[in-house]
Amino acid sequence: MGGGKLPRSFYDRPTLDVAQDLLGKVLVHDRRGIRTAGIIVEVEAYTGESDPACHAAPGPTRRNEPLYGPPGHAYVYLNYGIHCLVNVVAEPAGSPAAVLIRALDPLEGIPVMRRRRARAMKGRRRPPDPSALPQSELCRGPGNLTMAMGITLAENRLDLLGSRLFVEDRGIDVGEAVWGPRVGIKVGTERPWRAYLPNHPAVSEPR
C-alpha cells in the first residue's frame, strides 16, 4: 500500500485480510478542528450472517444497515448503552462485515485524549487521575478509544475516504500479527478472529 489515506479498494476485500492489514495503519479523527490519531494495534473481524457474534446474524435491520452497505464506511454503535464502538465496513456491498478497532497507540492530540478520558460519563467509571494514565492506556480497549478520540454515534455511516474520520498508511512497520479468540462476546468465541501486536502495552487484553 502506498502512503496517505486508504483507498476504497483496501476495504473491498475479505474481512480477515482487511483486519490484518489495518494493524500499523493510523486512525485519524478531526472533531471540530481538533485532530487526534493513533496507530491501530488490535482489531477483531466480524463477518456474515453465519457469524453469531456479528450484528448481521439476525439479518438486515435498521441498526446494522451500514454493514450491508459499501466498504470503507464507519459503523459506530452504542454497546450496553454506555460505550460507542467504531468499526470499518469491509467486503462488497451486500456482504455484511466489519472490523472492530479495539486499541490504538496514541500519536497525535494526546493532551486532548487525556481531557476526554477525564470526563464523567453515565455508566463509566472515571479514572482516578487521568493525567497519570500511561499513554498506552489512553486508547486501550474499544470504549476508551472512542472516548479519547471523540468518536460518537454522529460518526456512524461516515465515509472513511472523507476528511473527518479516516485511516492512513504512514508506512509504519509493526511486524507480524498474532491471531486469537475474540473477547467480550458470548457466542462465536471459538473463532480466532482477533488480530493484535504481541506484547504491545496498548493491546486491551492479556496476551
Please write down the HEC assignment for all residues of 149-199.
HCCCHHHCCCECCCCCEEEEECCCCCCCCEEECCCCCCCCCCCCCEEECCC
pLDDT of residue 121: 61
What residue has cell string 493484535? 196
| Greatest distance between any 2 Cα atoms in the chain | 45
pLDDT of residue 63: 83
> Of 123, 122, 121, 117, nearest to 140 (Cα)?
117
Q: Are 48 and 67 in contact (CB under 8 A)?
A: no
Q: Are 86 and 155 in contact (CB under 8 A)?
A: yes
Q: What is the tens place of the pLDDT at every residue in 84-132?
A: 999 999 999 989 999 999 999 999 999 999 999 987 665 556 656 767 7
Q: What is the tens place of the pLDDT at every residue in 18-62?
A: 999 999 999 999 999 999 999 999 999 999 877 777 887 878 787
What is the pTM (predicted TM-score) of this model? 0.91
pLDDT of residue 75: 95
Q: Are 64 and 205 in contact (CB under 8 A)?
A: no
Tell me the three state secondary structure of residue 9. Answer: helix
